[in-house]
A and B are shown apart, each in its own frame.
Chain A
Amino acid sequence: MATQHSRSAARIMMAPAVFLLLVWMLVPLCMTLWFSVRDFRPLRGGDLGFVGLENFGRFVSSSAFWPAVATTLVIVGGVLLISIVLGVMLAILLDQPMWGQGVVRILVIAPFFVMPTVSALVWKNMFMDPVNGVFSYIWQFFGADPVVWLSEMPVFSIIMIVSWQWLPFATLILLTAIQSLDSEQLEAAEMDGAGPLSRFGFITLPHLSRAITIVILIQTIFLLAVFAEIFVTTGGAFGTRTLTYLIYQRVLESQNVGLGSAGGVYAIILANIVAIFLMRIVGKNLDK
């Protein structure tokens, strides 16, 4: 169908995008790989030569590594759990007939559009501040001692802030998926005497499984890279240093580029493991 002429035209039209992305991906990637095998400290002597895989070993054996891995897993896992469980419940609720559905949808989706630095600062100061924050008023109202959120339960606080930003995303996607569910199937099940719980467990949830998988994969990739929320609230203190933040500190704060780059290679491998699963789903969808 396509002529030779349009084929070569197509190739030319694709070229700029492909070329730019190729350069954008390969050049920094090669540089990171190069730095990761060198002892490179810009502020202390510069490039001190080839050190083999030493940086990779040192990055993993440093005392900060395993806590950072644990923090990363807790934050990613916590946000996923909250946003999926509440997201499914919210999506089902928003799918019911009601008055003012459009407005409620807008209210629910709004946090996703808030700049990460703004949401982190607003939560940190206006809600979690132990003296003047909204939470401290609520605690005082019930006669409890206000919690110093960001130093007493720092990881939980960050999970809360990040969940607030990502719950709307999960809800919106799950709601879109729920709306494609055939309501006749649910009605038939109801007539056959299936209660609300079994209708949810045997019809709604299986129908949502694909959307849930996609939400998990996409969010995982973004959550592994959470940065601004930590940068603005705790600056990595109180055990809130994630893998991403640890690498950032190695590279830009202590300017140990070799070590940080080795960490970067680990982060790339980790993200790729998640990405492979996501790509498989997306790829299957392309064939349809």
Chain B
Amino acid sequence: MARAVTNQRKALNTALAWIVGLAIFFPILWTILTSFKTEADAIANPPILFAFDWTLENYSEVMERSNYGRFLSNSILIAGGSTILGIIIAVPAAWSMAFVPSRRTKDILLWMLSTKMLPAVGVLYPIYLLCIRLGVLDNRLAMVVILMLINLPIIVWMLYTYFKEIPGEILEAARMDGASLKEEILYVLTPMAIPGIASTLLLNFILAWNEAFWTLNLTSVDAAPLTQFIASYSSPEGLFFAKLSAASTMAIAPILILGWFSQKQLVRGLTFGAVK
């Protein structure tokens, strides 16, 4: 009965979904397109969608003027460093909670989650003051550590939910065969956990890359990542739409590509395993 209308309905669904999808994506598409326009074309009325003189001028100008490379390398260092450091600290913790659970494991996991709920603004001044006192305001290493601490609860949680899915019998079998704790982790667990670790890495890299409260408040020049680079365009300079678009495209392109790979993990990571 339903089969007869299927194709018609499918076409209707497809059309509707594509319209909605493109509408949601439009601001990003518009930004990318504008980044290849001249400033005159960027503010042409009526707006030009595709038929303009494509140019790379904005990119070279933004790179020349604003030292884009330094912001980019800071972003990579801070996001990458904090994620890797977080994984190194979280893997053993998540491992022990998943495979040697005790009565307190659940409480510890929930407590870790609660630290993530602490509003950043509530502890802004203490952190700011500590950074000044320790001489690490606008310091890359300090940002690595701070962003690691912010994302550590999510990293532990994600790894925990992945490790939980590894059947315990395999570990027991390895133990029976005389594997030591170290061998068990290195040769049995790690290979099975690599997909989980990889998706944790990806999602937390994205979260750290886009973090905009601490990076805006605790960095200015030396450690400033791309969030600051873009915020500097909120001055009247930002009215040069084509250059703003080029800068924006450069700030979001790497993460957009990574993000598309990680959409499945996103749900697990951000709902703490409550929706799968």
* Bound Cα distance from A118 to B27, whole angstroms: 11
| A196 contacts the other chain (CB 8 A) | no
Majority-rule SS of B interface residues: helix
* Bound Cα distance from A118 to B34, whole angstroms: 14
Contacts of B65 in A (CB 8 A): none
When C-beta atoms are compared, the residue in chain A nearest to B217 turns out to be: A252
* Bound Cα distance from A90 to B18, whole angstroms: 11
| A137 contacts the other chain (CB 8 A) | yes
| B198 contacts the other chain (CB 8 A) | no
| A100 contacts the other chain (CB 8 A) | yes
* Bound Cα distance from A26 to B14, whole angstroms: 52
When C-beta atoms are compared, the residue in chain A nearest to B23 turns out to be: A107
Q: Say yes or no: B27 contacts A115, CB within 8 Å.
A: no
Contacts of A124 in B (CB 8 A): 234, 238
Q: Say yes or no: A17 contacts B119, CB within 8 Å.
A: no
Known: A115-B209, A121-B233, A225-B119. A14 touches B96 (CB 8 A): yes
Q: Say yes or no: B123 contacts A32, CB within 8 Å.
A: yes
| B221 contacts the other chain (CB 8 A) | no
* Bound Cα distance from A112 to B27, whole angstroms: 12
Instruction: Return A28 CB to nearest CB of chain B, in Å.
Output: 4
| B166 contacts the other chain (CB 8 A) | no
Q: Say yes or no: B46 contacts A141, CB within 8 Å.
A: yes
Contacts of A260 in B (CB 8 A): 124-125
| B102 contacts the other chain (CB 8 A) | yes
Known: A176-B267, A176-B276. A115 touches B226 (CB 8 A): yes
Instruction: Return B142 CB to nearest CB of chain A, in Å.
Output: 13
Q: Which of B90-113 contact A (CB under 8 A)?
A: 90, 92-93, 95-97, 99-100, 102, 106, 108-110, 112-113
Q: Say yes or no: A108 contacts B24, CB within 8 Å.
A: yes
Please choose the segment from A56-64, A151-159, A199-207, A266-274 that sits at the chain B interface, where 4 or more of its residues have CB less than 8 A away: A266-274
Q: Say yes or no: B109 contacts A275, CB within 8 Å.
A: no
Instruction: Return B218 CB to nearest CB of chain A, in Å.
Output: 11
Q: Say yes or no: A286 contacts B231, CB within 8 Å.
A: no
Contacts of A285 in B (CB 8 A): 273-274
| A167 contacts the other chain (CB 8 A) | yes
Question: Number of A-B pairs whose CB atoms are under 8 Å?
Answer: 314
* Bound Cα distance from A244 to B216, whole angstroms: 14
Q: Say yes or no: A228 contacts B24, CB within 8 Å.
A: no
* Bound Cα distance from A73 to B210, whole angstroms: 25
* Bound Cα distance from A97 to B14, whole angstroms: 8
Contacts of B96 in A (CB 8 A): 9-11, 13-14
| B186 contacts the other chain (CB 8 A) | no
- Partner among A119, A169, A218, A271 whose Cβ is within 8 Å of the Cβ of B119: A271
* Bound Cα distance from A32 to B156, whole angstroms: 26
| A76 contacts the other chain (CB 8 A) | no
Complex interface bits, A9-28 against B, C-beta within 8 A gives 1, otherwise 0: 11101101110110011011
Contacts of B239 in A (CB 8 A): 125, 129
When C-beta atoms are compared, the residue in chain A nearest to B86 turns out to be: A17
Q: Which of B207-237 contact A (CB under 8 A)?
A: 209-210, 212-213, 216-217, 226-227, 230-231, 233-234
How many chain A residues sit at the interface, stated as a range, is 35 or more
Q: Say yes or no: A228 contacts B216, CB within 8 Å.
A: yes
Known: A29-B123, A107-B24, A231-B216. A114 touches B13 (CB 8 A): no
Known: A97-B13, A106-B263, A113-B206. A137 touches B45 (CB 8 A): yes
Q: Say yes or no: A272 contacts B117, CB within 8 Å.
A: yes
Q: Say yes or no: A25 contacts B115, CB within 8 Å.
A: yes
Q: Say yes or no: B108 contacts A107, CB within 8 Å.
A: no
Complex interface bits, A208-226 against B, C-beta within 8 A gives 1, otherwise 0: 0011001000100100110
Contacts of A13 in B (CB 8 A): 92-93, 95-96
Interface on A for B, CB 8 Å cutoff? 1-2, 5-7, 9-11, 13-14, 16-18, 20-21, 24-25, 27-29, 31-32, 35, 90, 93-94, 96-101, 103-119, 121-127, 129, 132, 134, 137, 140-141, 164, 167-169, 172-173, 176-177, 180, 210-211, 214, 218, 221, 224-225, 227-228, 231-233, 244, 247-248, 251-252, 257, 260-261, 264-265, 267-268, 270-272, 274-275, 278-279, 281-283, 285-287
A–B Cβ pairs within 8 angstroms, 19 of them:
A13-B95, A28-B126, A96-B13, A97-B13, A109-B266, A117-B231, A127-B27, A169-B270, A172-B263, A172-B267, A210-B275, A228-B231, A247-B122, A252-B124, A264-B124, A267-B119, A282-B113, A286-B106, A286-B110
